[in-house]
A and B are shown apart, each in its own frame.
Chain A
Amino acid sequence: MKIGILALQGAVREHRNALHKLGVETVDVLNPEDLEGIDGLVLPGGESTTMGKLLVRYKLLEPIAELGRKGLPIFGTCTGLILLSKNINGSDQYRIGLMDTFVERNAYGRQLASFEADIPIPALGDEPFHTVFIRAPYIDKVEGTAKALLTYEGKILLAEQDNLLVSAFHPELTDDTRIHAYFLNKIKK
């Protein structure tokens, strides 16, 4: 199994480490040809405006959207969650736009509002997940086949839709690989 990690900018190294821990081969995606032969794709955290622009400039946006529509499993964290959403409140920034989600950017405020907390996530079992939120977005609401996996304080923080998985927090900044493993299960299916 080979997972591509979008490597234009952001927390690439951390996702690579998490996937290697699960025994999976990874490849950095910088150009469209890097998408060939991958079984899944990770969109890491970073700056969503920067990443959106680079996706367009390097002609990656449309190929990734096409692969996603054909069923390639894609996991987006933070920026990745924003890029995968069809709707970004109050913004016309570039996006891949595959999920029936409504996203609020920098929803908690600036860096001083960034936080960490242990939150139970039923889909992952009894042990709470240590979540790290950095200038994080959240999902207001989901439609269609999109489904919330974690709702906390009325905000959707982990969601999936068929082959797609998104989190508002950064599992790659912790040693807990349960969400990465949950994503890999979408490939095995």
Chain B
Amino acid sequence: MTDIKKETGTFKVKTGLAEMLKGGVIMDVVNPEQAKIAEEAGAVAVMALERVPSDIRAQGGVARMSDPEMIIGIQNAVSIPVMAKARIGHIVEARLLEALDVDFIDESEVLTPADDVYHILKSEYKVPFVCGARNLGEALRRIGEGAAMIRTKGEAGTGDVVEAVRHIRQVNEDIQRVVSASPMELMTIAKDLGAPYELILKVKELGRLPVVNFAAGGIATPADAALMMVLGCDGVFVGSGIFKSDNPAKRAKAIVEAVAHYKDAKLIAEVSKGLGDAMRGQSVAQMDDKDKLAGRGW
């Protein structure tokens, strides 16, 4: 068995990790203590970042990749996968995170973009990337660049689920358009959506996105999380929603159970009891467009 060739960093092993996270909850954490609470609650992974999105909103300033020491502290605290965010287009932050051996990089609009024209060419990295999207075209552009997982952008740090719902509904609507189109219509759809033609063909063949698609951006309650699953998401990211609430450990556990049993209304009602206040949040309808993060990236 000497001629066996082991291949690392392939698209298959990148998407493979995303497949293993399905049906799970990925939680934003800012220190090892929170990471342990998340793991104990049953999170499938944690997202290490310096400030949760609602604090980034409140405090303003430039939001950057986290301190490597903090990321290492979290890696040492838990055995589940550890993800971290890089700024859109910041190829060096991404290389640093890869060098830190993080399990997934989120090229995220929650951080202040480093490049307002180009996204990272993610196929050149061995570490997998997840990227935000508001519609099928954006999702397929990111996959075209090598993203191994997609999430809705939603509107991070608001605790308002409306944008995440809008984005998954738009993705679903776009997929339906591709699925019901005749082959001769597909190039025009690719042009309309600004999506690579080959990936449009793939969507047509599969009837869904070619990679795992999670919900993100504004999920604050077990019912919000289950709603996103009902709408067809493969799993859920929860950012500010957990550690900005009254009882993070209990809420985190409740959200994990609501995602695993998203069709079981009785169970979700049960786990939603006595969680204390959810994060206060901010209605997206009352916000100025310039304060919205989802418009970052293209």
Contact = CB atoms under 8 A, between A and B. Distances in A.
B103 A111 contact: yes
A49 B79 contact: yes
A148 interface: no
B43 interface: yes
Interface in B1-19: 1, 4-10, 12-13, 16-17, 19
A97 B10 CA distance: 33
A121 B230 CA distance: 40
A88 B7 CA distance: 27
Contacts, number: 124
8 contacts: A7-B23, A11-B20, A53-B42, A57-B257, A106-B79, A112-B9, A132-B12, A135-B103
A54 B259 CA distance: 11
Interface string B146-170: 0000000000000000000000000
B22 A50 contact: no
Nearest to B41: A53
Closest 9 CB pairs of A and B: A111-B103, A9-B23, A114-B13, A47-B44, A134-B16, A115-B6, A53-B42, A117-B6, A50-B42
Given A119-B4, A135-B103, A30 B16 contact: no
B56 interface: no
Nearest to A78: B20
Given A9-B23, A49-B42, A112-B126, A132 B4 contact: no
B28 to A, nearest CB: 17
B24 to A, nearest CB: 5
B257 A54 contact: yes
Interface in A1-35: 7-14, 30
Interface residues of B, number: 41
Nearest to A48: B79
Interface of A: 7-14, 30, 45-47, 49-50, 53-54, 57, 78-79, 91, 105-106, 109-120, 132-135, 152, 170, 173
Given A47-B80, A119-B1, A152-B1, A11 B19 contact: yes
Contacts of A12: 22-23
B105 to A, nearest CB: 10
Nearest to B98: A112
Interface centre among A78, A106, A115, A118 (most CB of B within 10 A): A115
Contacts of B260: 8-9, 30, 54
A111 B80 CA distance: 11
Nearest to B126: A112
Contacts of B42: 49-50, 53-54
A120 B1 contact: yes
Contacts of B79: 49, 91, 105-106
B45 interface: yes
A10 B24 CA distance: 7
A78 B17 CA distance: 12
